[in-house]
Amino acid sequence: MPVVRSSETVTHEMHGARFVSYATPLSGSRELCAWRGEIPAGTKAPAHTVSREEILHLLVGELLVTLDGGTERIGAGDTVIVTPGTTLGLENPTGHTAITWVTTSIGLEAELADGTRIAPPWAN
């Protein structure tokens, strides 16, 4: 039975946020990736278009989530389903760190507005 201990996680930082990787092929997952996202107060991540479905569940705090230009404020306990090809933007307008739990399938890529493609290591 694969168990990923918190002491075995790998932490990545990008665009002012922290991604703590739990489930990836390196930790034994064959289809899905899962990570905890920590979005500090005042952070606005660049908009990016995702190649695979992502499920984002907000554990703590509030976020402004923009999907294809429409913005919603979400709070702890809310879940956002981001379908492939959707442009996603996240912003933490509060004074506290927001914490998310995100799952997707292995192989997720994101394309920034300038055409830069990113294959985040916590999702591959």
What one-character-per-residue DSSP string does 53-121 give?
-EEEEEEESEEEEEETTEEEEEETT-EEEE-TT-EEEEE--SSS-EEEEEEEETT--EEETTS-EE--G
As a whole-number percent, the residues of the chain with pLDDT over 90 amount to 97
> How many Å separate Cα 42 from the centre of its chain?
17
- Position 1 pLDDT exceeds 70: no
pLDDT tens digits, residue range 70-106? 999 999 999 999 999 999 999 999 999 999 999 999 9
- What pTM value is reported for the model? 0.93
Q: How much is the pLDDT for 2?
A: 84
Question: What's the alpha-carbon Rg for the chain, to the nearest Å?
Answer: 14
Mean pLDDT in residue range 29-45: 97
Fold that domain 10-123 belongs to in CATH: Jelly Rolls (2.60.120)
- Position 59 pLDDT exceeds 70: yes
As a whole-number percent, the residues of the chain with pLDDT over 70 amount to 99
